[in-house]
Structure 1
Amino acid sequence: MFYRLLIVITLTLLTVVGCNSSESGSRTQERAQTSVASDTHKADHNKATRSDGATTADVTKSCLLNVGWDPWEPYQYQERDGTVTGLDIDLFVEAAKRAGCTVRFQQGDWGTLLSALKAGQVDVLLGASITPLRKQYAYFSEPYRAETWVLYVRSEDVDQYSGKSLKKLLDSGLRIALVNGYVYGDTINAFQEDPAYERQFKGYGLAEETFNALMNRDVDGVLEDPFVGADVLRRKGWRKEIVRLPMVLHSGSVYVMFSQASVAPETVERINDAFAAMRADGTYRRILRSYGS
């Protein structure tokens, strides 16, 4: 599976260097709670003892983390048996287990989940970017993987769009679909906030909806993570109809976001320590490799 191999390469590079950004969302809330009861997410907390003498079972009593997630395969998705999984999910569940925390999941669209996290109704969101506004109500982990945003267009339009800057594409009238509440980097944000271009950006609740809009000619392009885009096109059978342009619009790090209203700073530090330990003992690389098989 090619795109998963690319994930491994990208995240491994981030690991080597030490693993060292407009909130909005008029999306419909979709909630579902899923217990972390699958075999791969079970842990015997009673057997582990922390350096301060407390068992992880003791810590777990006061550390239940409600993790919000939205369908974003291969990072976050749900198996047919109801198990919530994905690269982001697997990494965080392992880190939470090591930090002595239990995890439960709450599904929703990103915009609604952001509001819930701000209110303390959701404790954790994964794959998040740091913004000044979010820092007012959220803590952030150390960066745990990289992200990239690219532009997808219909195959028939490739020739007229290739080789042009984003500004030239927008000046030509290009309409772009994106997901509400996502942060696409400074360049995209500047165009979204520019009165000359803001009406050319159309928000949707889910990544799959943006590609549906492209196929229906409601928009002319889609901004998406290349691995997510590749997965949507594979599942939809649209790999010939839709292609990505050879341009990278943004690349940066992503973080775990914690609600300041419901999560103690000490818990954030324990998660950071767990990520560091996972890198040191090879668990981090093992999880990455599992998405390249």
Structure 2
Amino acid sequence: MLLRLILCGALLGLNGWASAQPQPQRACGHLRSAFYEYGALYYKAADGSWTGIDKDVVDEVARRLGCTIEAITDSRVRIWAGLNGGTVDMSVSSLSTPEREKFARMVPYLAERNYVLLHKDVSASIRSMDDFLADPNIKIGVIKSFRHGKAYDVWLDRLRAQGRVYEAPDYEAMLRLFKVGRVQAVMAISSGWYPLLKQDQMNGNYRIMDWAPPKDVLVGGLILSRQRVDEALATRISHTIRAMREDGTLRRIFERHLDAELASRLLHF
């Protein structure tokens, strides 16, 4: 009997010791991340493969957590519908709003500003949002479902009321409207207009106007479906992004696709 008690005590001690040891993190399995084409965030490389800031961030999160994250490419409208309907696990470089928070969580990884790109033929007298509003002959293109910050969104609603806003399904469609003269301006963040500097058709054909208040910064990040990604995994993803920022990985990713100055700005979130 004494020997049995001693053995039981030893086993209980071993169990207690084992439970106190750090347990390996569970891999996050298979997820589907929806991407949308936009400037340096997500674009086709010379060999036809997809690349960009958003893809590099997701790939690094997958590597660190041991996930398989399947990439799909779609329009922003369908992506939001999929997140809301529970058919998409996550998406990228998204802004949080009270409506979106009802069905998704946001994990920030970049800060941006919106700019107005004016065609070179637009009068030099157009120097502000009020100047733009006062000229009924100029129109602007945006991507449907995008948010642009408080000041720009109020301004765009006033232009919509005048029938002066064209809603494009994606970035390329918006740029086509600009190139053919259907609109005389487009909205773009810095990681959106930066690649345009390298395009012969666009270089020198526009002026970049910064009309938003200095504090009107847009914080974008991974958007995680509440239906498909539980809180524990969302927390692990958030910790991973934070570690990527602290160890310089985010900066290195940004600098692969932007110049050093713009890359630095994206870290101010």
The normalised TM-score by structure 1 is 0.73
Equivalent of residue 186 in structure 1, options 128, 144, 150: 150
The alpha carbon displacement at 1:91 in A equals: 1.6
The alpha carbon displacement at 1:123 in A equals: 0.9
Large movers: runs of 4+ above 4 Å: none
Equivalent of residue 251 in structure 1, options 211, 217, 236: 217
% same residue = 20
1:76–1:84 CA contact under 8 A, matched in 2 = yes
Q: Deviations over 1:11-44 (max 9, x none)?
A: xxxxxxxxxxxxxxxxxxxxxxxxxxxxxxxxxx
Q: Deviations over 1:145-193 (max 9, x none)?
A: 11111111111224131x3x21331132231110001111112222344
Equivalent of residue 24 in structure 2, options 30, 38, 54: 54
| 1:127 alignment partner, SS class | strand
> Given the superposition, is the C-alpha separation of residues 83 and 214 from structure 1 closer, same or farther in structure 2, using an over 3 Å criterion?
closer
The alpha carbon displacement at 1:253 in A equals: 1.2
The answer to whether 1:280 aligns with 2:239 is: no
Matches within 5 A, 1:112-151: 112-141=78-107, 143-151=108-116
| 2:192 alignment partner, SS class | helix
Q: Which residue matches 1:22?
A: none
Distance 2:76 2:242 in 1: 27
Q: Which residue matches 1:227?
A: 191
Question: Superposition RMSD on alpha carbons, in Å?
Answer: 2.4
> Structure 2: where are the runs of 5+ without partners?
1-20, 261-269
Q: Deviations over 1:269-292 (max 9, x none)?
A: 111111122233333333233334
Q: Which residue matches 1:154?
A: 119
AA aligned to 1:182 is: F
> Structure 1: where are the runs of 5+ without partners?
1-50
The answer to whether 1:103 aligns with 2:66 is: no
Residues 173-182 or 184-193, more deviating: 184-193
1:170–1:197 CA contact under 8 A, matched in 2 = no
Equivalent of residue 214 in structure 1, options 178, 185, 208: 178
Q: Which residue matches 2:130?
A: 167
Q: Which has the larger radius of gyration?
A: 2
2:40–2:194 CA contact under 8 A, matched in 1 = no
| 1:156 alignment partner, SS class | coil
Distance 1:279 1:246 in 2: 27
Distance 2:159 2:47 in 1: 46
The alpha carbon displacement at 1:261 in A equals: 1.6
Distance 1:236 1:104 in 2: 34
> Given the superposition, is the C-alpha separation of residues 82 and 67 from structure 1 closer, same or farther in structure 2, using an over 3 Å criterion?
farther
AA aligned to 2:218 is: G
Aligned residues: 236
The alpha carbon displacement at 1:195 in A equals: 8.0
AA aligned to 1:222 is: V
Distance 1:215 1:196 in 2: 21
Distance 1:280 1:242 in 2: 36
> Given the superposition, is the C-alpha separation of residues 121 and 154 from structure 1 closer, same or farther in structure 2, using an over 3 Å criterion?
same
Q: Which residue matches 1:263?
A: 229
